[in-house]
Chain A
Amino acid sequence: MSELTEDVHLPAAAAAPERKRATGLGDLLRTPAIGGSAGVLALLLLAALIVPPLLPYGPNELASATALDPPSWSHPLGTDELGRDLLARLLAGIRVSLLVIVAAVPLALLAGGLLGLFSSAGRWTDTPTQRLFDVVLAFPALIMGIAFAALLGAGLTAVIVTVAVAAAPMIGRVLRGAVRSQSARDYVLAAKVTGVRPWRLYVRHILPNCFDVVLVQTSLACATAVFIEGGLSFLGLGVRPPDSSLGGLLSSSLTFLTSSPFYAIGPLVVISALVLCFTLLADALNRKLAAR
């Protein structure tokens, strides 16, 4: 019996990788919007990982006797109000954003994914889950973040919790929709008829076909992570001084905008590039994957 089922649903499972090869990773990266934004992201993240140990100054070290030096050969982005090297602080800020992404986005995927699956299981599980999503989404993300900062104290934990809680409902909603639309297809019916167990049906048949939409949401969740980390740190409720963060750098540059506008340039460019590239990537992936 089991041999028979293996044989019967083989065509459905085998068709999927073949189609994937037609629009594989290389093909995706050759699309200008996808390749371009992925390239910029890779460049920023690699710079943040590789460059800091090579710099003569750490992000919290006093690097210059004078404060607010304009950009020079020894300090490419200048120094801040305490004479710390702005390039080192900027790269440390990217590292913090990266840390938030690495910690919060998998949490959001896990929570959102499980809730989305639970929701798609039937009418009795759907309504409560949808109400839960409604309630979470009724709090604007930044306001929720401020409340978490009040509860947990200003810091990275509050930022990570906020990103995970704010991004999970989006992932859950999209996954629920995708699972439902896949479940209505013929191949699922065929698998059910041939006696594939529910667990195997989900893991081997339905979920692999939902991968695309989850990938798009993951990219959006990364954009949300950078946005919330920047916002909370900007308000002084995220990463706390003396540690560096992109939002924190931007908010301290605000005080010296008239005398030292160069202070703001680094964080402005990096935050915009990160959020923009993650959003563009999601947009382009969405279009590309919907087309196939």
Chain B
Amino acid sequence: MLRYVLRRLPSAVIVLLLATIPVFAVLRLAPGDPAATVAGPDAGPEVIASVRHDMGLDRSLTAQYFSWLGDALQGDFATSFVSKAPVSDLVMRGLGNTGTLTLCALLLAVLIAFPLGLAQALARTGRLRSLLSGLNVVMLSVPPYVTGVVLVLIFSVGLRLLPPGGYVSVFDDPVAGFQFLLLPAICLALPAAAVLARFLTASLQRVFQEEHYFASRMRGLSAKRLVLRHGLPNAVGPVVTVLGIQIGHLLGGAVIVESIFAWAGLGQTLVTAASARDYPLVQALLLLAVTVFIALQLLSDVVYAVIDPRVRERT
């Protein structure tokens, strides 16, 4: 097992290191002189020169990259151009909210995907099958900003059941917190659920063709036992690997969902930072997104190998 992890690790680290280069380049490619931005509009040339020296901008690009990377590894991302607060503090402030939202969405996605995927794989009649696959395509392709507005129209404006947006901590007031969380989480979960269901269906259909499955069927097992004990366990592996990739997409979708539902998380921080051209903050959030994405992909591959010993042997 350890050997499998060690074999997968280098390529993940290489991709992550390569991904830090464009992230670093954000500040260098940005129009305008960062030193002048930090020094402020009234600063004279000597002040700007001293700020440039303090920021290390007079050193070579390679030296700057490595010192930036070293600081980043320690969680130090300099200070925000706009609020002058340490970037790491600003990131920590929104991390919990985005984390809660993403985790709830992930849970919901899995809860929706399993019944949907099973139903799609088992659907015999043409009409039910095309209905389910139509539902799947709609969930998959309709963007979260459309789903979000539709959900608000139905549940907040029409039925007046749930608040249209805002944030209350689940720990302060569980009922209200849950109400505020529900719509954004559904909105974020639907596309991920559709992808997971798609992979589960394909994977199940493959298992249904295998000889061991046919043998179990010939032994006269009940349909329920057959699917739940012999079909599903053999089919979840590929779904787990997709799960890792889907979390990455959830992070992207979270930006939109947070904006629709006024959810005070990292997505809002990123949009504000981009509009204000607060590059250190944008850099830190980009790096966070990429790191989480690559780490989760690695994690899901490892989980797949834990579930399915054949994967460990193969590679």
Contact = CB atoms under 8 A, between A and B. Distances in A.
B275 A138 contact: no
A256 B156 CA distance: 13
Given A275-B143, A279-B140, A257 B150 contact: no
A244 B83 CA distance: 32
Nearest to B282: A150
A39 B143 CA distance: 21
15 contacts: A131-B18, A135-B19, A139-B293, A142-B256, A143-B286, A147-B282, A149-B274, A150-B279, A151-B26, A153-B31, A258-B164, A264-B153, A272-B146, A278-B141, A283-B137
Contacts of A52: none
A150 B294 contact: no
Interface residues of B, number: 48
B29 A276 contact: no
Given A151-B30, A250-B149, A140 B248 contact: yes
Interface of B: 14-16, 18-19, 22, 26, 29-31, 137-138, 140-143, 145-146, 149-150, 152-153, 156-157, 164, 248-249, 251-253, 255-256, 259-260, 270-271, 273-275, 277, 279, 282, 285-286, 289-290, 293-294
A113 interface: no
A91 interface: no
Contact of B141 (A142, A151, A276): A276
A138 B293 contact: yes
A146 interface: yes
A134 B256 contact: no
A78 interface: no
A154 interface: yes
Contact of B252 (A143, A271, A272): A143
Interface in A150-205: 150-151, 153-154
B277 A150 contact: yes
Contacts of A93: none
Interface in A238-281: 247, 250-251, 253-254, 257-258, 261, 264, 268, 271-272, 275-276, 278-280
Interface of A: 131-132, 134-135, 138-143, 146-147, 149-151, 153-154, 223, 227, 230-231, 234-237, 247, 250-251, 253-254, 257-258, 261, 264, 268, 271-272, 275-276, 278-280, 283
